[in-house]
Amino acid sequence: MITDLRNLIAAEWLKLSRRPLSWVLLGVFLGLMLLYLATWALVVMLHTGALIGGNTRFEVLSPAQIVELQRQLSVPGIFGAVLGQVNSTGGICAIILAAGFLGSDYTWGTLRVLLTRAPHRGAYLLAKLITLQIGILVTILIALLIGALFALVCSSTLGIPSHLRPGDLLALPVGVLRSLYIILPYVMLTLASAAFGRSALAGVGGGLIFLALDVSAGSLNTIGVVSPLVRWLVNLLLQPNINTLVVLNSQLFGLDQSVLLSSLDLGLLPSPLHATLVIAAYSGFFFWGAYRLLLRRDVVGAY
């Protein structure tokens, strides 16, 4: 079983690394991340007057918010900013990648061939999931490296101090693993959607619709102060629990996201333990759903 799983992962990784879609999505994500960082750098330059020689300043944000942005543009804060992007725009890219990764096996008719060689559909699904997580991990590492280089440029051009301590390096694995965990339920829901519709389009549609509804529902966390019952019900949704772990990731590197977005105040969000358990429950349910769909539905693509 372990040998079959290892062989499946090797085969899936070969497919994933050679798919043009994987490289396109990597380029799109890194481009959007750099655009996000460059936008904040521009805001800081306008506020300090560095863009036009220091004679004129455009103060579009409060001083506290500018200080927070400067933290995000320096080491180690840049790591928290990059991981935040992984769990926002990176999540959308992960949904598209997961949908194409499973859906194409239906569309191209390769799923039937794969299952004749390794008939255990649970192992096939697990290999897909592990390979996707490895691919996302590689993307995170590349993004962190590029982010660190961007922070060095900001330090030299904007005079923002950077301080890298051993504790920051030790926090990186924790932040990376937490980011992978945050993306997991969306990847699982996308795989379940692709299996249900037997196509990549169904996976993209299911994943993005769920993400849009989830983000919209997550904005309800501010009404949790109305009553304990309302807060308990809102905290059962996925997005508030996702936000908790995103905030914890940013705090690992000295950031305070509530300065920029009041909805990211830990006082309004579920506890870390609650968030971890709820995300595990969603991920487990979506994995079970994807597995049942693989067992019950035909392996031929939809027409």
Per-residue pLDDT of 184-240, as tens digits, reads 999 999 999 998 988 889 999 999 999 888 887 766 665 655 567 777 888 888 999
**Is 301 domain-assigned?**
no
Q: What is the pLDDT of residue 113?
A: 65
> Largest alpha-carbon pair distance within the chain?
71
Per-residue pLDDT of 238-280, as tens digits, reads 999 999 999 999 999 989 888 887 777 788 789 999 999 999 9
Residue type (1 letter), 283: S
Give the list of residues 6+ apart from residue 198 with CB closer than 8 angstroms, or none: 103, 106, 297, 298, 300, 301, 302
**Is 303 domain-assigned?**
no
Residue 181 lies in domain: 2-296
**Is 211 domain-assigned?**
yes
**Is 302 domain-assigned?**
no
**Is 134 domain-assigned?**
yes
